[in-house]
Every structure is written in C-alpha cells, then in structure tokens.
C-alpha cells in the first residue's frame, strides 16, 4: 500500500518517538521509536512496528509474546516530531508483565500546587 506520510520530523538517527496509548481507557502503555519503515509497516499491517535502538532491528510488538497491539488511531503533534498511537492492547504491554511500562513513580515531587495557589 502506497501512502503519503505527513511532514514528520525524524531525528538524526531517522527516528521519531511513538507514545502508545490504550484506546479504551487512555492509559499510556509505553514509548518506543519508529523510523519511516516501521511507521509504514505499522500503517499497512494494523499492528505496531518499532525500531529497536539496542538490538538494531525492527520488531513487531507481541510477535513472540502474543501481547499484540492493534492500531486504532495514529496522531502526530504540532511540531511533527512525535507520534501518538492508540491501540487495542492484548495482555500486558510491558515485558515485565505489567499492563503499562510506566509503573515506577518518582517520589518527592511537589504535587500540591493549583491555579488558585499561585
């Protein structure tokens, strides 16, 4: 399938960060990187493809684990340098078995401010 990609800005390594979000409940599941080819495969296959910076190879999420991501919508930001991929997530997104990769919290942040307090 040929497709015109919007004017996206890939970085010096040809990559763009892709935020993956559960399309049902809005939970942010993970962040990974795509290049043009990974994005092309994602668009045409309907499943998420990424470029692994450490392994230097393409990977299709869930191909071995079965924890697949089926694309529901892909958006890009105002600068064209980040993607937001909404998916139907099968099972956990994280290799640790957690639903989301973002399960660790930084403690000690100030969280008591509001518009009224400033």
State which of positions 88-107 bind its own copies (CB under 8 A). Answer: 88, 90, 94-96, 98, 101-106
Backbone angles phi, psi at 43, to 5 degrees: -65, -40
C-beta closer to its own copies: residue 8 or 58? 8
Nearest to 56, CA basis, from 95, 13, 100: 13
**30, 99 Cβ separation under 8 angstroms:** no
Residue 26, CB half-sphere, CA atoms under 13 Å: how many? 0
CA angle 24, 66, 37 (to 5 degrees): 80
Binding pattern for the stretch 15-34 against its own copies, x by CB under 8 A and - elsewhere: --x-x-x---xxxx-xx---
Identify the helix (H) or strand (E) that includes residue 106: none
In whole angstroms, the minimum distance from the beta carbon of 71 to its own copies comes to 5
For its own copies, the binding residues in 39-78 under the rule CB under 8 A are 42-47, 68, 70-78
Q: Does 10 bind its own copies (CB under 8 A)?
A: no
Instruction: Please give the residue ranges that form the binding site for its own copies (CB under 8 A).
Output: 1, 3, 5-6, 17, 19, 21, 25-28, 30-31, 42-47, 68, 70-79, 82-84, 88, 90, 94-96, 98, 101-106, 108-115, 118
């Amino acid at each position: 399938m040929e497709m015109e990609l919007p004017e996206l800005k890939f970085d010096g390594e040809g990559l763009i960060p892709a935020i993956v979000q559960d399309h049902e409940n809005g939970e942010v599941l993970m962040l990974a990187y795509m290049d043009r080819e990974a994005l092309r495969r994602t668009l045409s296959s309907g499943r998420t493809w990424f470029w692994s910076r450490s392994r230097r190879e393409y990977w299709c999420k869930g191909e071995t684990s079965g924890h697949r991501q089926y694309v529901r919508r892909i958006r890009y930001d105002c600068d064209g340098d980040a993607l937001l991929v909404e998916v139907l997530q099968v099972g956990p997104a994280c290799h640790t078995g957690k639903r989301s990769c973002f399960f660790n919290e930084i403690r000690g942040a100030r969280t008591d401010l509001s518009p009224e307090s400033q």
